[in-house]
Amino acid sequence: MPRHSDIPVAFRNAIKRDPKRGQIVSTRDFVAELAKVNHFWSLSQANEWIKHYQICFRDFTDHEGEDKVYFMMNMGRII
């Protein structure tokens, strides 16, 4: 059974290090981590959650579509 408290943990687990941008997360990685804890979200649902709850992350996707990539801004934090 999915728990609401697993969502931020899945987000933290999806974060990767990029030498150019610092900490980044892709929507596809976030959805994959959510599936591991029994949350089955679409890419658009995951994007909405990131935009609403992770205010220190900004979109820097260079292609069209729902598979977006976000980076943490300077002095940001994971909520």
pLDDT at 1: 76
pLDDT at 69: 96
Residues 15-31 as b/e (b if ≥16 CB within 10 A, e otherwise) read: beeeeeeebbbbbebbb
Please state the domain count of the chain: 1
Query: 49 lies in which domain range?
Result: 6-72
Kindly give the confidence (pLDDT) of every residue in the chain, 79 residues in length, as a single tens digit, with 9 standing for 90 and above.
779 999 999 999 999 999 988 999 999 999 999 999 999 999 999 999 999 999 999 999 989 999 999 999 876 667 6
Q: Is residue 79 part of a domain?
A: no
Q: Is residue 1 part of a domain?
A: no
Q: Is residue 77 part of a domain?
A: no
pLDDT at 7: 97
